[in-house]
Structures are given as structure tokens and as C-alpha cells.
Amino acid sequence: NAGVTQTPKFRVLKTGQSMTLLCAQDMNHEYMYWYRQDPGMGLRLIHYSVGEGTTAKGEVPDGYNVSRLKKQNFLLGLESAAPSQTSVYFCASSYGGYNSPLHFGNGTRLTVT
């Protein structure tokens, strides 16, 4: 049972390049989330999804797009990377009830030069 898997683990982009981060979960969770974590800022929600085919904006959505075409996958896209998007990105999932905790992937370390 893999839980939540993120790919890639590391990536270096040049300003203006695009990329997609993939998150896959095998726990049949309804809710999936993308967070970014920066020093001194804590975890901040970028986008989330409450089910297949649905997405919604979080706290810091600008510069990112997401898609949830299949229940088990949640994709995060950067169309035109900027140095301000240098961060560690975490995907998480939960079954969605009030007391349901989040299960996190291992993270993707992205550097934009």
C-alpha cells in the first residue's frame, strides 16, 4: 500500500518553463490537496479537490492550475514558472469527514532559476 505518491521528487526549472507535478493516492480518498511550504511561512494551500472532476482555489492559487480527472490522481501545473514558485510542494489526501486527517506525499522540491 503506497499511500500518497508524488512525482518528481526534485526538479529545476528556468523562468518561464512549464511543468506538471503528479500526485497519486491508493486509499480511495475523496479529498486531495496541494500545499507549498516555504521557510517561515508554514504550509499554505494552493488548490484542493473534493471529488473527481472538481477543483477549488486555496489560499495561494495564482500561477498554478490543477486537474482531477481520475479520483486517484491530482495534477498541479505551472504554466510559466517564476522564481517565487521555488518551494517544496506537498500533496495530501483525506476521506473528507470532519475528523479525517491528511495523509501527505513525500514532497517535490522545485527550484526555479
Partner 1 sequence: RKEVEQDPGPFNVPEGATVAFNCTYSNSASQSFFWYRQDCRKEPKLLMSVYSSGNEDGRFTAQLNRASQYISLLIRDSKLSDSATYLCVVRANQAGTALIFGKGTTLSVSS
Give the footprint of partner 1 on this chain (CB under 8 A): 31, 33, 35, 40-43, 45, 48, 50, 56-59, 88, 90, 96-99, 101-107
CA 104, CA 35: separation in Å to the nearest integer? 10
Q: Which three cell numbers stand for residue 96?
A: 473528507
Q: Are 78 and 63 in contact (CB under 8 A)?
A: yes
Least CB distance from residue 16 to partner 1, whole Å?
Answer: 27
- Exposure string over 100-112, b if 16+ CB within 10 A, otherwise e: eebebbebbebeb
Closer of 16 and 96 to partner 1 (Cβ): 96
Closer of 47 and 78 to partner 1 (Cβ): 47
Closer of 17 and 45 to partner 1 (Cβ): 45
